Amino acid sequence: MTPMWYIVLSAILFSVGAVGVLIRRNAIVLFMCIELMLNAANLALVTFSRINGTLDGQIMAFFVMVVAAAEVVIGLAIIMLIFRTRRSASVDDANLLKY
């Protein structure tokens, strides 16, 4: 089978994640949807590496994972901080620049 289907799959996963970001309010679920989108991008990168017959795509996917880990750490710290002051994890409640 052509590698086309892997890329189509990654496109579908990406848009599912994007819809999730648009319709959810809870900041942590937003994070989950962003992880979904990053993972879809990873799938595309690994497929490209398969198409080109080189390892570069896989290494990019590896780097994306590391960046995602760093992003989750910082993001969750910020969410916990907001939760501590506003008692809510909903993104709609974090609408002030200053608490």
94 scored as a contact of other proteins (CB under 8 A)? no
By beta-carbon proximity to other proteins, the closer residue of 33 and 97 is 33
Residues 40-69 that bind other proteins (CB under 8 A): 40, 42-43, 46-47, 49-56, 58-59, 61-63, 65-69
31 scored as a contact of other proteins (CB under 8 A)? yes
CA-closest candidate to residue 72, choices 40, 14, 27, 41: 27
CB of 54 to other proteins, least distance (A): 6
Q: What is the DSSP string of 17-46?
A: HHHHHHH--BHHHHHHHHHHHHHHHHHHHH
Q: Which residue has the tokens 């995602």?
A: 68
Classified as helix, coil or strand, 90 is strand
Would you say the C-alpha torsion 30, 31, 33, 34 has a positive or negative sign?
positive
- Where does this chain bind other proteins (CB under 8 A)? 1-9, 11-20, 22-26, 28-29, 31-33, 35-36, 39-40, 42-43, 46-47, 49-56, 58-59, 61-63, 65-74, 76-81, 83, 89-90
